[in-house]
A and B are shown apart, each in its own frame.
Chain A
Amino acid sequence: MPGFLANIEAIKGKGVDSVACISVNDAFVMGAWGKDQKTDGKILMLGDGSGEFTQAMGLPLDLSKNGLGVRSQRYAMVVNDGKIEQLFVEKPGAFEASTAENVLKHL
């Protein structure tokens, strides 16, 4: 999250209309987290509380054994006119491909 916030100007400079963050949490939690992270409207905080979108993407991750339920894998994508142009899915536990820095390179 801080990476996308810090790079927001650079990303927008590439003609990106919105930067959105999606998580299997409800809108109340996403709103509170956005405040905590001082996103200040720069990043759209989207709750996918029932995992509907995440399931449709085919990118859920079952963390029930860790007391987290079914969540989303970590990934980033570049979408143009509704089409996925780039998709960066992290390996379990990794944080490389989906970073703001890496996404920027592909814009």
Chain B
Amino acid sequence: MVKVGDKVPSATLRTMGAEGPKAISTEELFGPGKKVVAFALPGAFTPTCSAKHVPGFVSDFDKIKAKGVDTIACISVNDAFVMGAWGKDQKAGDKVVMLGDGAAEFTNAMGLAMDLTKNGMGVRSQRYAMIVQDGVIKDLFVEKPGAFEVSSAENVLKHL
């Protein structure tokens, strides 16, 4: 698993553009001169993620931005189509960039994968949030299985 002080690993994520999925590299997303809050979760349209995790970041958008954050990104092992539809459903708008890591390339590189094959969900991401400055992880909040505390928008805000 990555740790504080590490560079965010290189991978390609995908966002839903007007003309379909659009690739975005981690270098582009977290790249030099940027301060980014990224949070990851087990799945789009799942209960905790839909009811608490994403809404928290959407509603605290202004407060987080006021701390000098350039981008707030949500990452899940779902494809760009699903992330796009979920973003609409969650009314994330331009506030939270919804990024699909459909093949779990980024999640595996982070060392934060979680095997939910027995639950019919395949390999997913653990729930976590991180603060990244100039591509380097400044804070990393990984949840214990089933928990939703440290990766919340409220807790991230305290560390910005």
Contacts and interface: CB of A to CB of B under 8 A. Distances in A.
A68 B103 contact: yes
Given A32-B85, A49-B121, A50-B117, A67 B105 contact: yes
A64 B103 contact: yes
B14 A67 contact: yes
On chain B, which size bracket covers the interface?
A: 20 to 34
A66 to B, nearest CB: 8
A69 B104 contact: yes
B101 to A, nearest CB: 7
Interface majority SS (helix, strand, loop, mixed), chain B? mixed
A95 interface: no
Interface of A: 24-29, 31-33, 36, 47-52, 63-69
Contacts of A27: 120
Given A28-B43, A32-B89, A49 B120 contact: yes
Nearest to B122: A50
B23 A69 contact: no
Contacts of A31: 45
Max chain A CB contacts within 10 Å: which of B46, B77, B79, B117?
A: B79
B45 A28 contact: yes
A32 B78 CA distance: 13
B13 to A, nearest CB: 7
B47 to A, nearest CB: 8
A75 B52 CA distance: 37
Interface string B102-123: 1111000000000011111110
Contact of A29 (B21, B44, B104): B44
Contact of B12 (A47, A50, A67): A67
Given A65-B103, A69-B104, 11 more contacts: A26-B121, A28-B45, A29-B44, A32-B44, A50-B117, A50-B122, A67-B12, A67-B79, A67-B102, A68-B79, A69-B122
29 contacts: A25-B82, A26-B120, A26-B121, A26-B122, A28-B44, A28-B45, A29-B45, A29-B78, A29-B82, A32-B44, A32-B45, A32-B85, A32-B89, A36-B85, A47-B120, A49-B116, A49-B120, A49-B122, A50-B120, A64-B105, A66-B21, A67-B13, A67-B21, A67-B103, A67-B105, A69-B77, A69-B79, A69-B104, A69-B122
A65 B120 CA distance: 22
Interface in B73-107: 77-80, 82, 85-86, 89, 100-105
A32 B102 CA distance: 18
